[in-house]
Amino acid sequence: MLHFIVLAVSLLSPPSLSSALDDFDALVALKQGFQFPDPALASWNTSSPSSVCLWRGVRCSNGRVVSLDLTDLNLYGSVSPLVTRLDCLHELSLAGNNFTNTIRIENLSTLQFLNISNNQLSGDLDWNYLSIQNLEVLDAYNNNFTASLPTGILSLSSLRYLDLGGNYFYGEIPSCYGNLVGLEYLSLAGNDLQGRIPVELGNLTKLREIYLGYYNSFEGGIPREFGRLTSLVHMDLSSCELDGKIPHELGNLEALDTLYLHINLLSGKIPNQLGNLSSLVNLDLSNNALTGEIPPEFVNLKRLKLFNLFMNRLHGSVPDFVADLPSLEILALWMNNFTGKIPRSLGQNGRIQVLDLSSNKLTGPIPPDICSQNQLEVLILLKNFLFGPIPKGLGACSSLVRVRMGQNYLNGSIPSGFIYLPRLNLMELQSNYLSGTLSENSNTDSKSKPVHLGQLNLSNNRLSGPLPSSLSNYSSLQILLLSGNQFSGPIPPSIGELHQMLKLDLSQNRLSGDIPPEIGDCYHLTFLDMSQNNLSGPIPPEIAGIHILNYLNLSRNRLDQTLPKSIGSMKSLTMVDFSYNNLSGELPESGQFDFFNASSFSGNPRLCGSILKQSCSIATARDSHRKGSSNFKLVFALGLLVCSLMFTAAAIIKAKAFKKSGGRSASPWRMTSFQKVEFTVSDVLECVKEGNVIGRGGAGIVYHGRMPNGVEVAVKKLLGFGPAAKYGHDHGFRAEIETLGGIRHRNIVRLLAFCSNKETNLLVYEYMNNGSLGEAIHGKKATAGGVLGWETRYKIAVEAARGLCYLHHDCSPLIVHRDVKSNNILLDSSFEAHVADFGLAKFLVDGGASQCMSAIAGSYGYIAPEYAYTLKVDEKSDVYSFGVVLLELLTGQRPVGDFGEGVDIVQWSRRVTRGCRKDEVDRIVDPRLVPLPKDEAAHLFFVAVLCVQDNSVERPTMRDVVQMLSEYRQ
C-alpha cells in the first residue's frame, strides 16, 4: 500500500507528472509501431496513463519507467524512435521478436543494458554512443545488420559485453576494438568479416569469452598476442579459414576451459604448451591439417571431457594417458594415421560416452572394459586393423546407440545380446572374420527389445547356423544386410513382421527351403536380394504386393515352377534377376516383363518366350504388344503436350492481365523484407515488365531489376498459386516464406523480400551476375568460347554441395529442395555457387499449380527413379539430382536430349564407362577441359555415381558428399 501512495504522490507533483506522461506517450507510440501487439500487450491500457507501471514488461522506480522487457513476445513491426523518450531507462530488452527496419537507441544516459538480439533488424549500428555512454551490455546478435563494424562504441568506457554476431557485418575488425579494455565478452561470429584478426585484441586482458568464427573468412593465423588474454575462459575461433600454426603462446591461458579451433586450415604440430591448460574441459582441433603426434604434456589435462582431433594428419600411437583422463567423455580421433594398439584401460574411467577411432591404422584387440559403467553410447572403430574377439561385456552395454566396427579383422562369435541391445539404432560389423551363430533374443521384456534399430549390417563374415526368429524384434529396422556368410536353414516367416524394412540382402549364404510368402508383408522394401542360396519351391506371388520394390535378385537358387504374372504389374521394378534357377513355362510378356533383359532369365532351360528367343508351343503376340506400348507412349506424350500448352496459355493470359494493370492491382500490396533493403513495393513493380524477363520456368517468371540506389535484384513472379489471397495472406504460407527468408548461408541465394496482394506473389532475390550454371555450361557463352575451367567447375561442385548440405542438415526446419538442377545453381560475379529456388516446389504442389505440375517434383532428367512409383521426394531425391549436376559439370552434356530416345546422362555415362569404371572417365569428360587432372575427374565421377544409384538407400547424404569432395583436395 505504501508503494501505491508514494506512486500517487509522485504522479501529482508537476515535474513528475510531466515525466511520467512522457513515459506513457513513449510506450503508446512504441505499441503503435507493433503489428498484432495483442494478446501479448493486452495489459497496455493506452487510455489509462496511471496504469503504466502495471503493464506487462514494465518496471518502475519512483513513478518512472526504469526497465522495459519485451523478450520473446513474438511481436512484429518496427521500434519507434520515441522509445528514446524513456529517459530513465536502465534496462531495455526487445530480444526474440520479429522487429524489422532500422533502429536507433540514443539519448538514454542512464541505460546500462540493451538487448535487441534475435530479430530482423537491418541497417547499421552507427549510433550516437556518447548519448548512451553508461551502457555496459550491448547484444545485437542474430539480426540483419549490414554494414562495417561500428567504431563509435569506443565511447562506451563501461562496456563489458558486446555481441554483434549472426549478422552481415563486413570488412575488417577495427584494430581500435583493442581499446575496449573493459570487455569481458566479445562475439563477432557469423558475419562476413575478412582480413586479419587484429593483434590489438590481445590488449583485452579482462576478456573471458571470445567468438570470432563461423562464416567469417580471415587471412593469416591466430595472433600470438592472444596469449596475453589470461582471463579467457572460452575461445571459439572455429570455421573461419585460419591458417598457419597454432601459436604456443596459447599455453599461457591457464584459465581456459574451452578451446575451439576446428574447421580451419591450421597446420604444423600441436604445441606442447597446450598441455599447460590444466583447466581445459573442451578441446576441439578437428578438421585441420595438423601433423605430428599427440603431445605427451596432454597428460596434465585432467579435467578434459571433450577431445576432438579428427580429420587431421596426425600419426603415432594413442597415448596410454588418454585412457586415464578421469573426466573424458568424448574422444574422436578418426581419419588420421594413428598406429599401434588402443590403450587397454580405455573406458575404465566409466565416463566415456562417445568413442570414434575409425579410419586409422590401429591394431590389436578392443579394450575389454570399454563400457565398464554403461555410459558408452557411440562406438565407432571401423576401417582399422583391429583383431581378436568382440569383448563379451559389450553384450550387456545397454547404453549403446550406435556401433560401427566394420572393415577390421575381428574374429570369434558375436557376444550374446549384443545385437539386441535396447537403445541401438545402428549396428555395423561387416567385413570381419566373425563366426558362430546368431543367438535368439533371450530377453523377453518388451521394454528391452531393440525397437529402435534401423540398420543391421553383418555382411561378409563367417557366421553360420539358422536365422533367428528374434529378427522380428526389430520393429523399426530399415536395412538388414546378412550377405556373404554361411547362414543355413529356412528363412523364418517372422521376417514378414519387419514392416519398415527398405533393404534386405540375404545373398551368398546357404539358406534353403521356400521363400516365405510373408515377405510380401514387407511392403516398404525397395531392395530384395536372396541370390546365391539353395532356396527352392515357387516364387511366392505375394512379392508382387511390394509396390515400391525396384531391385529384385533371386538368381542362382533352385526355384522352380512358373514366374508369377503378377510381377509384371510391379511398375516400380527397374532391375530383376531370376537367372540360373529351375523355372519353367512361358515367360509373361506383359507389363514390366517387356522391359527386362533376357540375361535376367538365362540359365533356366525350361523357360521359353520371345524375349529369350526360344519359341513355346503357343506363338506370342509381341509385335501387337509393342504396338500397344508405342500407342500408349504416343498418347501419354500428346497428353503432356496438351497439358503444357494449357498451362502456357493460362500463364500468358495471366501475364497479359498483369501487364494491363501495370503490375498494380486494386488490392493493396504488402512487402516483408528479410534483409536490409532500400526499395519499396513500387520499385519492385517497376521491374515486372516483359522487357526485363530473364527466365521462365514452372515456378514462375523471373525479371531483372535495378533499384533506385543501383542495386540489382531478381524478381520472381510465382505462378500456379491460385488466388494469392489463399497464400499471400495465409499465415502458414507466409510463415514458410519467412523461414526461407531467414536462411543464411554463403552458398544459398538470399531472399531479400516478399511482396504480395490478393492476385500476385513476388519474391525478390539478390541478383547473380553470371546467371545459372546451366547457362554457363550449355548456353551461348559456353559455345562462344567462355568455357568454365576445371578449377571453377570443381569449386562450384563443392560450393553447391555445401548449400544443399545446409538445407538438409543444418537448417531449421530442414528443407528438401525438390528441384535441384544446374539452372537452379546461380553464379555470382566471382563464379561462386548459390543454390536457388529451394522449397518452392512444395508450395506449387500444395497450391495445385496445374495438373501437369502437381504430379511432378523436379525437372526432367534430374528426377530420381523411385519418384515414378512413390510420388514422394526426400533428401535422397535431391542427392540423385545433384549427382546429375555433377555429371553435367564433368561431361558438359545436358541431362537429356543428346543420347538417343529414352536415354539420359546417367544411363549414357554408365554405358560409355563400362559400368561406371573410374579409369574410363576420360571417355565421357568434356573435351573442352584442357588440361584436366584425371585423378580429380575420376573422383568427381566416383561421387556422382554414388549419388545417382538407383536405390535411394545406398546414396550418400549431402554431408557425405561435401566431405568426399572437400577432403580430396586437402
The pLDDT tens digits of the residues spanning 761-797 come to: 888 988 988 888 998 998 766 544 467 899 999 999 9
pLDDT in tens, 186-225: 999 999 999 999 999 999 999 999 999 888 999 889 999 9
**Cell matching residue 657:** 492481365
Per-residue pLDDT band for 639 (boundaries 50, 70, 90) equals low
**Percentage of the chain modeled with pLDDT above 90:** 52
pLDDT in tens, 490-533: 999 999 999 989 999 999 999 999 999 999 999 889 899 999 99
Instruction: Establish whether the linkage from the previous residue to 538 is cis, with ω within 30° of 0.
Output: no
**749 and 770 Cβ atoms separated by less than 8 Å:** no
CA distance linking residue 813 with residue 590, whole number of Å: 45
Q: If we measure between CA atoms, which residue out of 254, 242, 235 comes closest to residue 185?
A: 235
CA distance linking residue 154 with residue 126, whole number of Å: 12
What is the DSSP code string of 790-802? HHHHHHHHHHHHH
CA 212 to chain centre: 23
Section 147-174 average pLDDT: 93
Q: If we measure between CA atoms, which residue out of 316, 357, 312 comes closest to residue 338?
A: 316
CA distance linking residue 204 with residue 226, whole number of Å: 9
| Contacts of the segment 459-462: beta carbons below 8 A, 24+ positions apart | 459/430, 459/431, 459/483, 459/484, 459/485, 459/505, 460/430, 460/431, 460/432, 460/484, 460/485, 461/429, 461/430, 461/431, 461/432, 461/433, 461/434, 461/435, 461/485, 462/433, 462/434, 462/435, 462/486
Give the Å distances, CA to CA, from 937 to 677, 789, 957.
Answer: 42, 12, 21
Q: Count Cβ atoms within 10 A of the Cβ of residue 38 and give its class: 0-12 exposed, 13-18 middle, 19 or more buried.
A: exposed
If one compares 867 and 876, the residue with the highest pLDDT of the two is 876
**Cell matching residue 159:** 562496456
**Cell matching residue 832:** 561462386
CA distance linking residue 604 with residue 607, whole number of Å: 6
- The answer to whether the Cα torsion of 652, 654, 656, 658 is positive or negative is negative
CA distance linking residue 83 with residue 68, whole number of Å: 10
**Percentage of the chain modeled with pLDDT above 70:** 86
- For residue 621, pLDDT beyond 50: no
Identify the residue whose cell numbers are 530399415: 478
Section 252-279 average pLDDT: 93
pLDDT in tens, 273-317: 999 999 999 999 999 999 999 999 999 999 999 999 999 999 999
Identify the pLDDT of residue 699: 65
**Cell matching residue 60:** 518502475
From the CB of residue 683, how many other CB atoms can be counted at a distance below 10 Å? 20
Q: If we measure between CA atoms, which residue out of 204, 200, 163, 197 comes closest to residue 183?
A: 204
Which of 436-450, 591-605, 813-827 has maximum average pLDDT?
813-827
From the CB of residue 735, how many other CB atoms can be counted at a distance below 10 Å? 9
Section 100-126 average pLDDT: 92
- Is 819 known to be catalytic? yes
pLDDT in tens, 528-557: 999 999 999 999 999 998 988 889 999 999
From the CB of residue 873, how many other CB atoms can be counted at a distance below 10 Å? 23
What is the DSSP code string of 233-262? -EEE--SS--EEEPPGGGGG-TT--EEE--
Secondary structure (H, E, C), 846-898: HCCCCCCHHHCCCCCCCCCCCHHHHCCCCHHHHHHHHHHHHHHHHHCCCCECC
- For residue 650, pLDDT beyond 70: no
Q: If we measure between CA atoms, which residue out of 647, 675, 684, 648 comes closest to residue 760?
A: 684
**493 and 516 Cβ atoms separated by less than 8 Å:** yes
CA distance linking residue 640 with residue 17, whole number of Å: 75
**422 and 449 Cβ atoms separated by less than 8 Å:** yes
Residue ranges of domains in the chain, CATH in brackets: 1-168 (3.80.10.10), 654-767 (3.30.200.20), 772-970 (1.10.510.10)
Cα end-to-end span (Å), the chain:
72
Section 65-73 average pLDDT: 93
Section 21-48 average pLDDT: 86
**715 and 703 Cβ atoms separated by less than 8 Å:** yes
* H or E segment and range at residue 822: none
Give the Å distances, CA to CA, from 865 to 573, 611, 784, 941.
Answer: 10, 24, 35, 19
- Check residue 670 and give left, alpha or beta (phi > 0: left; psi -120 to 50: alpha): beta
Identify the pLDDT of residue 175: 93
The pTM of the whole model exceeds 0.85: no
CA distance linking residue 500 with residue 517, whole number of Å: 17
DSSP state for residue 136 in the 8-state scheme: -
Check 163, 257, 505, 819 and give the catalytic one.
819
CA distance linking residue 752 with residue 765, whole number of Å: 5
DSSP state for residue 478 in the 8-state scheme: -
For the chain, the maximum distance between any two Cα atoms, rounded to a whole number of angstroms, is 115
Strand-pairing partners, residue 751, are 765
Determine which of 442-446, 693-697, 855-859 has the lowest per-residue pLDDT on average. Answer: 855-859
DSSP state for residue 345 in the 8-state scheme: T
**325 and 350 Cβ atoms separated by less than 8 Å:** no
In the chain, the amino acid numbered 361 is: K
